[in-house]
């Protein structure tokens, strides 16, 4: 009977693992926000990242909205710096997969006050489309 209940509702161990994964995902959101803040121009108001994680190649773009008019400003960083950011999204994708939330695309925005918004996409879309949703 215990085996049937665990199958239907999950064991206490499963619940603890899910909670731990949730904490790790939230921590990953914070790491991404910190990375963007550390690499942003002085007058930034909003940072947007659009990425796709589905193979071994980098599929992402990011830009900052500057001044109160939020004009787009694209910064060019060396590949090693960009790989740091993309690596954070790869880790986020792996953590999501532990929870059976396998996404292909992600749009992450954070404002200069630290408030962030994350949207996931489960079908292949162009980066520009992901960035503008």
pLDDT in tens, 24-40: 999 999 999 999 999 99
Compute the average pLDDT of residues 44-53: 92
CATH of the domain at 35: 3.30.500.20
- Assign 5 a pLDDT band (cuts: 50, 70, 90): very low
129 vs 104: CA distance, rounded Å: 13
Tens digit of pLDDT for each residue in 51-96?
999 876 678 888 888 877 767 777 777 788 888 999 999 999 999 9
Q: Tell me which residue range forms the domain holding 31.
A: 2-131
Distance CA 51, CA 48 (A): 10
Between 73 and 105, residue with greater pLDDT: 105
Chain-wide mean pLDDT for the chain? 85
Residue 9 scores a pLDDT above 90: no
Q: Do residues 104 and 53 make contact, with C-beta atoms less than 8 angstroms apart?
A: yes
Selected residue with higher pLDDT from 16 and 38: 38
Residue 10: pLDDT band with limits 50, 70, 90: low
User: pTM for this structure?
Assistant: 0.82
Number of domains in the chain: 1
Distance CA 48, CA 124 (A): 19
């Amino acid at each position: 009977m215990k085996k049937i209940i665990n199958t239907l509702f999950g064991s206490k161990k499963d619940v603890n693992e899910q909670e731990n994964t949730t904490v790790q995902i939230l921590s990953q959101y914070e790491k991404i926000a910190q990375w963007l803040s550390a690499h942003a121009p002085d007058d930034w108001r909003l940072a947007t990242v659009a990425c796709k994680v589905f193979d071994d190649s980098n599929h992402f773009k990011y830009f900052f909205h500057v001044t109160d008019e939020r004009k787009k400003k694209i910064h060019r960083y060396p590949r090693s710096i960009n790989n740091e950011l993309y690596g954070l999204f790869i880790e986020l994708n792996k953590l999501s997969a532990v929870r059976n939330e396998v996404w292909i695309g992600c749009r992450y925005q954070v404002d200069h006050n630290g408030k962030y918004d994350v949207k996931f996409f489960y079908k292949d879309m162009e980066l520009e489309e992901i960035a503008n949703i």
